């Protein structure tokens, strides 16, 4: 199976870094993976779209993901800008959404995982992007990579004590998803 991911976020929330960490975790497991950031004139707070793929076999396609089977929504308020995170999602796709609203539902998805990534991140790390918490919830929701590989990939990207703290934040989100 090939996982195809589309990340919806705002500039400064760390989705591009999250996609790269996710890909590194998959590679640590011997899988094939690619991260495809969409750069333009993004600035802090502006909508950002990022894509990734993970597969057990070589990935021949080198393009954006137009039909994701997993969507990671860092900021559901993007809907107010007319951005529909369900656009193009495959039937039965998984949604991982950063919300503290326990009643949040998006019927376009077969499986919805809600996580208050902002709260977990702020409690454990302070005022930094919620990307590692979102990755923990993603790993729990999809089992696309193991928590252990994800923690290692986080610490490869962020060395030292900060990396350990970020890896623990990822694990806390995994436990709470």
Report residue 118 as tokens: 């902002």
The pTM is what?
0.95
How many other C-beta atoms are found inside a 10 Å radius of the C-beta of residue 125? 17
Question: What class has domain 2-176?
Answer: alpha beta
How high is the pLDDT of residue 81?
93
Take residue 34 and report the two structure tokens written for it.
């690619």
pLDDT at 167: 98
Distances (CA, A) of 72 to 48, 57, 75, 100, 161: 12, 23, 9, 15, 27
User: What pLDDT, on a 0 to 100 scale, did the predictor assign at position 42?
Assistant: 62
pLDDT of residue 41: 63
What are the extents of the domains in the chain? 2-176
Q: Which residues of the chain have pLDDT under 50?
A: none
Per-residue pLDDT tens digits for 63-98: 999 999 999 999 999 999 999 999 999 999 999 999
Per-residue confidence (pLDDT) for residue 85, from 0 to 100: 95
Q: Residue 7: which of 41, 45, 47 has the closest Cα? A: 47
- Give the model's pLDDT for residue 102: 86
């Amino acid at each position: 199976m090939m996982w195809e991911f589309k990340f919806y976020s705002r500039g400064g929330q760390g989705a591009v870094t999250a996609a790269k960490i996710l890909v590194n975790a998959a590679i640590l497991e011997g899988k094939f993976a690619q991260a495809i950031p969409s750069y333009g004139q993004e600035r802090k707070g502006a909508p950002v779209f990022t894509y990734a793929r993970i597969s057990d076999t070589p990935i021949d396609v080198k393009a954006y993901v137009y039909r994701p089977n997993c969507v990671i929504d860092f900021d559901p308020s993007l809907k107010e800008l007319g951005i529909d995170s369900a656009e193009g999602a495959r039937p039965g796709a998984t949604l991982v959404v950063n919300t503290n609203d326990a009643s949040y539902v998006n019927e376009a998805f077969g499986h919805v995982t809600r996580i208050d990534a902002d709260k977990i991140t702020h409690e454990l790390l302070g005022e930094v992007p919620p990307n590692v918490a979102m990755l923990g919830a993603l790993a729990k929701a999809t089992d696309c990579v193991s928590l252990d590989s994800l923690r290692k990939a986080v610490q490869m990207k962020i060395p030292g004590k900060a990396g350990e703290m970020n890896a623990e934040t990822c694990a806390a989100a995994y436990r709470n998803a």
